[in-house]
């Protein structure tokens, strides 16, 4: 009997014992195609020799040095690399150990920035419903994933949430994508007017929404309008690219495809590709300059920030992605994945939407394609699909509450960047079989 408090207290999980490329093997010798890279993490697949070598080299030199006393070569080199490839104006880096830590740091940094600027009345954050920014209390407070918040609501700081940009559900029948994008962005303008924009620290959003709705991209023009509204009111823009960033959508940063740059950007998951826990905040020069000429100290820190082994690992990950032109593969195989899913599910009665960018794709399930009515929450469809996929040797990432926080199901497909065309086809086939099997289990007949 396991002594671990697992995510779910229930039947035992398979024991993962080794990995190779896009495959994870369990203790019974069963292979699983890791078609979601865990939670969009393992972007180079498993046991990549170059990454393992970089980790070993660093381990042989220095395993740890406190960041209050020392800086290290791998941390400096990683920061240089991240800034070299960052969107315009993001010239500094704060290194942490994961996505939630990155969000906590971004929230505190943005608040401290205004304190140092002499605007201490800015105390509020505006964020979006149907978003996820992490499970620590600050990150959870700005998150709009209702189920994850529920039990903790009374102990979360007050955050104002606006509707997301979610065309499949909220675009009106005769509205263009661009008109919808502007209407969705207007919600921020209204919220700022209601609160008093001078009281707001930042607007927080996932550039492409991951776990909560399954690879929902904003419509064209939405983020440009958001950037303009933030600038006009002196409100910072924090983009959470923990899941969608570091190449997942086919460009290093998802916001490149929106034509904007944030003031603070959080990254994690693909940054270390699962080889080591690491995250980071990319920080604008303006924020850094205000801090430097103010208290010259960020009132924050954790024991393991800037840890040399994760930093050396993440640097090697970035170098391999560039050396092997993997972002081209992300774009190319991403198109093949989308086309394959559309072909497989084009007429499927229970698939409402197939969406995403690069190797970041989501399938939203509905009980009725015309009305877009979701399955009942207690049907647990996404979990059933996940179970059926695991039985077929496929890992995909399920989510529920997709439509409105309570109802709706989706699965996320986010394979490693090294995936090839044949593997994409196998993934599509197994996803198709898993969805069909789950629906038969639920509805009791062939689809």
Instruction: Select from 19, 37, 45, 99 the one that contacts ligand PLP (CB under 6 A).
Output: 99
By the rule CB under 6 A, 398 interacts with ligand PLP: no
Rounded-to-integer distance, Cα 398 and Cα 394, Å: 12
What x/- string results for residues 132 through 171 when contact with ligand PLP is judged by CB under 6 A?
A: xxx-------------------------------------
Q: Is 241 helix (H, G, I), strand (E, B) or coil?
A: coil
What are the contacts of 317-325 at 24+ separation with CB within 8 A? 317/43, 317/44, 317/51, 317/270, 317/271, 317/272, 317/273, 317/275, 318/78, 318/81, 318/82, 318/85, 318/271, 319/50, 319/81, 320/44, 320/48, 320/50, 320/51, 321/43, 321/44, 321/247, 321/417, 324/418
- Closest CB to ligand PLP belongs to which residue? 99
Instruction: Select from 75, 140, 192, 211 the one that contacts ligand PLP (CB under 6 A).
Output: 211
CB of 396 to ligand PLP, least distance (A): 15
CB of 248 to ligand PLP, least distance (A): 11
In 85-213, alpha helices (H) = 99-117, 137-142, 146-149, 167-170, 177-195
Q: Which is nearer to ligand PLP, 134 or 408 (CB)?
A: 134
By the rule CB under 6 A, 103 interacts with ligand PLP: yes
Q: Which is nearer to ligand PLP, 106 or 424 (CB)?
A: 106
Torsion angle of C-alpha atoms 156, 158, 159, 160, degrees rounded to 10: 140
CB of 266 to ligand PLP, least distance (A): 7
CB of 69 to ligand PLP, least distance (A): 26
Nearest CA to 405 out of 128, 8, 39, 129 is that of 129
The radius of gyration of the chain's CA atoms, rounded to the nearest angstrom, is 22
Instruction: Select from 100, 217, 284, 402 the one that contacts ligand PLP (CB under 6 A).
Output: 100
By the rule CB under 6 A, 268 interacts with ligand PLP: yes
Q: Which is nearer to ligand PLP, 206 or 364 (CB)?
A: 206
Binding residues for ligand PLP, rule: CB under 6 A, are 39, 98-100, 103, 132-134, 206, 210-211, 240, 242-243, 268
């Amino acid at each position: 009997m396991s002594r671990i408090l697992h995510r779910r207290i229930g039947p035992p999980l398979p024991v993962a014992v080794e990995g190779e490329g896009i495959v994870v093997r369990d203790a019974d010798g069963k292979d699983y195609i890791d078609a979601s890279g865990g939670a969009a993490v393992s972007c180079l697949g498993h046991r990549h020799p170059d990454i393992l070598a970089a980790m070993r080299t660093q381990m042989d030199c220095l395993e740890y040095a406190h960041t209050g006393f020392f800086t290290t070569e791998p941390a400096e080199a990683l920061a240089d690399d991240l800034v070299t490839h960052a969107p315009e104006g993001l010239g500094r880096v704060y290194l942490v150990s994961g996505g939630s830590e990155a969000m906590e740091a971004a929230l505190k940094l943005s608040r401290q920035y205004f304190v140092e600027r002499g605007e201490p009345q800015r105390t509020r954050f505006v964020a979006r419903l149907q978003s996820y920014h992490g499970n620590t209390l600050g990150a959870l407070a700005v998150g709009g994933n209702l189920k994850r918040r529920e039990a903790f609501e009374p102990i979360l700081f007050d955050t104002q949430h606006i509707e997301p940009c979610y065309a499949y559900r909220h675009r009106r029948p005769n509205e263009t994508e661009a008109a919808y994008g502007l209407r969705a962005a207007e919600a921020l303008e209204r919220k700022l007017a209601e609160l008093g924009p001078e009281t707001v620290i930042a607007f927080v959003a996932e550039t492409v929404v991951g776990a909560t709705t399954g690879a929902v991209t904003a419509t064209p023009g939405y983020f440009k309008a958001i950037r303009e509204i933030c600038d006009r009111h002196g409100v910072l823009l924090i983009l959470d690219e923990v899941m969608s960033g570091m190449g997942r959508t086919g460009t290093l940063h998802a916001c490149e495809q929106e034509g904007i740059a944030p003031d603070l950007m959080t990254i994690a998951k693909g940054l270390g590709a699962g080889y080591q826990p690491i995250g980071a905040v990319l920080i604008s020069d303006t924020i850094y300059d205000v801090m430097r000429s103010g208290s010259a100290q960020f009132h924050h820190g954790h024991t393991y920030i800037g840890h040399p082994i994760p930093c050396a690992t993440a640097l090697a990950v970035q170098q391999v992605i560039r050396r092997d032109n993997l972002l081209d593969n992300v774009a190319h195989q991403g198109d093949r994945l989308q086309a394959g899913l559309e072909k497989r599910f084009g007429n499927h009665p229970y698939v409402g939407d197939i969406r995403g960018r690069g190797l970041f794709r989501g399938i939203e399930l509905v009980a009725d394609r015309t009305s877009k009515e979701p399955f009942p929450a207690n049907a647990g469809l996404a979990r059933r699909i996940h179970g059926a996929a695991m039985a077929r040797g496929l890992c995909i990432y399920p989510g529920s509450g997709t439509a409105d926080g309570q109802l709706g199901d989706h699965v996320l497909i986010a394979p490693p960047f090294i995936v090839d065309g044949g593997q994409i086809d196998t993934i599509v086939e197994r996803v198709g079989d898993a969805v069909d099997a789950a629906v038969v289990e639920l509805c009791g007949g062939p689809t």
